[in-house]
Structure 1
Amino acid sequence: MDSLKATMLQAVSGMQLQSKRIDITSQNVSNADTPGYRRKVLTIEQAPSSGSAFMQTRIDLDESEGERRYDPASPMSDAEGYVTSSNVSLVTEMADMREANRSYEANLNSFRQARSMYQSLLDVLRR
C-alpha cells in the first residue's frame, strides 16, 4: 500500500475514533442530571492484527459512585430514602470533548494534506 493511501486511511480511522469519543461525551453531558446514570468511557485497544493502524473500541461504564443525597419524597429514592446522582463531571466531559475535537481536527488536516499531495501527483502525471 502506498504511503499516501496509508496516511489517508490512518487519518480516517482517527477521525472515526474521535467521532465516537465526541458521541460518548455528548451522551454523558446530556445525562449528567439523570439520577443513577453511570458515565460511559470509551476504551481503545490495538486491533489484533499486528501492523494494523485500526483500533478496536469498547464502551465501558465508570464504576465510581455518584453522590448520594437524602430525599425520601423522590420516586428515585432507595429503601433508605437516598437518591444516587450520576457520576458525570461536566468539567471532565468538557475537557474530553475539547481534546477529541482537537484530535479530530489534526486528523482532518493530515487527510487534507495527503489529498493535496495526491492531487499534485496527478497534476504532474497529466502533463
Structure 2
Amino acid sequence: MTDLSLPLAQQLSASGMQAQSQRLRHVSENIANVDTPGYHRKTIPFQPSEAGMVETGPVRLDRSPLLRIHDPGHPLADESGHYDGSNVDLVIEIADAREAQRSYEANLKLFDQARQMTRGLFDLLRR
C-alpha cells in the first residue's frame, strides 16, 4: 500500500521497512516455535511491485526434514522413542533477524534523509 502524499523516495523506503517488519515478525514466530513438535519454519519472499515498491509474497513453509528427537517419555514418541521436532535453526533465525534489522535501519535512514531533503527544498522555495 503506497501513500501518494509522500515523495517517491519515502514511499520506496517505507515499503522496504514494511517488508522487513513482516520478515522480522515471521523470524520471531520461528524462534518462538523452535521447540514445537512438527513445526515448519516460515519464510517470506520479497518481490518488486509494478510501482517499484517492495512487496512480500505469500508465506512459505520450509519443507526441509524435521529434526528427529529421541525421547521415549515424550507423549508424541513412536515405538522407537522418536518424534518429529521442528526444522528451525536458531543460528539461521538470529542471522535473519539481524539482517532484517539492519535493512530496516538502512531504509529508515533513507526515509529520514529524503524527508530532510524535502524540508530543505521547501525552505529554499519559501525564500
The bucket for the TM-score relative to the shorter chain is 0.7 to 0.9
Q: How does 1:42-121 map to 2 (within 5 A)?
A: 42-47=44-49, 49=50, 51-78=51-78, 81-121=81-121
Aligned residue number for residue 30 of structure 1: 32
Q: How many residues were matched structurally? A: 122
1:63-113 per-residue CA deviation (whole Å, 9 max, x = no partner) reads 011221233432222465421111100000000000000000000000000
TM-score normalized by structure 2?
A: 0.87
Aligned residue number for residue 7 of structure 2: 5
TM-score normalized by structure 1?
A: 0.87
Paired with 2:28 and 2:57, the residues of 1 have a C-alpha distance of 17
1:41-84 per-residue CA deviation (whole Å, 9 max, x = no partner) reads 1122233x3x5324242110000112212334322224654211
Paired with 2:78 and 2:43, the residues of 1 have a C-alpha distance of 26
State percent identity of aligned pairs: 45
Q: Secondary structure at the match of 2:52?
A: coil
Which consecutive unaligned segments of at least 5 residues does structure 1 have?
A: none
When the two chains are superposed, the root-mean-square deviation of aligned CA atoms in Å is 1.7
Paired with 1:36 and 1:53, the residues of 2 have a C-alpha distance of 35
